[in-house]
Chains A and B, each alone.
Chain A
Amino acid sequence: MRGLWLVIGFFLLSASAGAEDDVQFVVVADPYIELHTGPGTGYPITQIIERGEEVGILKRRTDWFKVRSPAGHEGWANRTQMELTLQPSGKATEFPSAGRDAFDERTWEWGVLAGDFGGATTYAGYGSYRFSRHLAVEVNASQILGNFSDGWAVSANIVHTFVPEWRASPFFSLGTGMIHIEPKAALAQTQDRDDQTAIVGVGISSYLSRRFIVRLEYKSYVVLSSRNENEDVEEWKAGFAVFF
Chain B
Amino acid sequence: MESRIRSIFLTTAVTATFLSLGASNAWAQDSEAAPEVIDPAVERRDIDVAAIDTEDFEVTAFFGLMSVEDFESGGVYGARLGYHISESFFAEASFGATKVGTSSFEKLGGGAELLSNRDLTYYDLSLGYNLFPGEVFVGSKRAMNSVVYLVGGLGSTNFAEDNHFTINVGFGVKVLPTDYVAISLEVRDYMFDIDITGENKTTHNLQGTLNISYFF
Instruction: Determine whether A121 belongs to the interface, using a CB cutoff of 8 Å to chain B.
Output: yes
Instruction: Determine whether A94 belongs to the interface, using a CB cutoff of 8 Å to chain B.
Output: yes
Residue in A25, A39, A42, A143 whose CB lies within 8 Å of B163: A143
A212 CA / B127 CA spacing, docked (Å): 12
Instruction: Using known A-B contacts A11-B214, A210-B85, determine if residue A60 contacts B133 with beta carbons closer than 8 Å.
Output: no
Instruction: Determine whether A63 belongs to the interface, using a CB cutoff of 8 Å to chain B.
Output: yes
A12 CA / B124 CA spacing, docked (Å): 28
Instruction: Determine whether A221 belongs to the interface, using a CB cutoff of 8 Å to chain B.
Output: no
Min C-beta distance of A112 to chain B, whole Å: 5
Would you list which residues of chain A between 122 and 162 have a CB under 8 Å from chain B?
A: 123, 125, 143, 145, 150
A38 CA / B174 CA spacing, docked (Å): 13
- B148-166 to A contact mask, C-beta < 8 Å, 1/0: 0000001110000111110
A74 CA / B71 CA spacing, docked (Å): 50
A41 touching B87, Cβ below 8 Å: yes
- A89-114 to B contact mask, C-beta < 8 Å, 1/0: 11101111000000000000000101
B163 touching A145, Cβ below 8 Å: yes
Instruction: Determine whether A184 belongs to the interface, using a CB cutoff of 8 Å to chain B.
Output: yes
Instruction: Determine whether A57 belongs to the interface, using a CB cutoff of 8 Å to chain B.
Output: yes
B-side interface size class: 35 or more
B52 touching A150, Cβ below 8 Å: no
Instruction: Determine whether A71 belongs to the interface, using a CB cutoff of 8 Å to chain B.
Output: no
Residue in A57, A91, A123 whose CB lies within 8 Å of B46: A91
Residue in B56, B145, B164, B216 whose CB lies within 8 Å of A38: B145
A242 touching B145, Cβ below 8 Å: no
Instruction: Determine whether A87 belongs to the interface, using a CB cutoff of 8 Å to chain B.
Output: yes
The interface centre, meaning the residue of A37, A61, A64, A88 with most chain B CB atoms within 10 A of its CB, is A61
Instruction: Determine whether B179 belongs to the interface, using a CB cutoff of 8 Å to chain A.
Output: yes
- B128-172 to A contact mask, C-beta < 8 Å, 1/0: 001011110000000101010000001110000111110000000
A78 CA / B91 CA spacing, docked (Å): 21
Instruction: Determine whether A59 belongs to the interface, using a CB cutoff of 8 Å to chain B.
Output: yes
CB neighbours of B143 from chain A (8 A) = 37
Min C-beta distance of A187 to chain B, whole Å: 12
Instruction: Determine whether B49 belongs to the interface, using a CB cutoff of 8 Å to chain A.
Output: yes
How many A-B Cβ pairs are below 8 Å?
Answer: 108
- A13-25 to B contact mask, C-beta < 8 Å, 1/0: 0010011001011
Residue in A24, A59, A61, A96 whose CB lies within 8 Å of B47: A24
Residue in B46, B49, B132, B156 whose CB lies within 8 Å of A42: B132
- A38-54 to B contact mask, C-beta < 8 Å, 1/0: 11111110000000000
Residue in A22, A91, A94 whose CB lies within 8 Å of B53: A22
A240 CA / B155 CA spacing, docked (Å): 15
B47 touching A93, Cβ below 8 Å: yes
A-side interface size class: 35 or more
B179 touching A66, Cβ below 8 Å: yes
**Chain B contact residues: over half helix, strand or loop, or mixed?**
strand
Instruction: Determine whether B173 belongs to the interface, using a CB cutoff of 8 Å to chain A.
Output: no
Chain A: which residue is nearest B123 at the CB level? A143
A62 CA / B87 CA spacing, docked (Å): 6
Would you list which residues of chain B between 72 and 94 have a CB under 8 Å from chain A?
A: 83-88, 91
CB neighbours of A15 from chain B (8 A) = 180, 216
B45 touching A88, Cβ below 8 Å: yes
Instruction: Using known A-B contacts A24-B47, A40-B130, A43-B145, determine if residue A63 contacts B87 with beta carbons closer than 8 Å.
Output: yes
Min C-beta distance of B19 to chain A, whole Å: 51
B91 touching A37, Cβ below 8 Å: no
The interface centre, meaning the residue of A24, A64, A210 with most chain B CB atoms within 10 A of its CB, is A24
CB neighbours of A188 from chain B (8 A) = none
Instruction: Determine whether B185 belongs to the interface, using a CB cutoff of 8 Å to chain A.
Output: no
CB neighbours of A180 from chain B (8 A) = none
A65 CA / B186 CA spacing, docked (Å): 27
Chain B interface (Cβ < 8 Å from any Cβ of A):
44-49, 51-56, 83-88, 91, 125, 127, 130, 132-135, 143, 145, 147, 154-156, 161-165, 176, 179-181, 214-216
12 chain-A/chain-B pairs, Cβ below 8 angstroms? A12-B181, A22-B52, A24-B48, A24-B52, A39-B87, A42-B133, A59-B55, A59-B179, A61-B215, A64-B87, A88-B46, A96-B49
Q: Which 10 A-B pairs have the closest CB atoms?
A: A42-B133, A38-B145, A40-B87, A24-B47, A59-B53, A60-B54, A40-B133, A121-B165, A145-B165, A150-B163
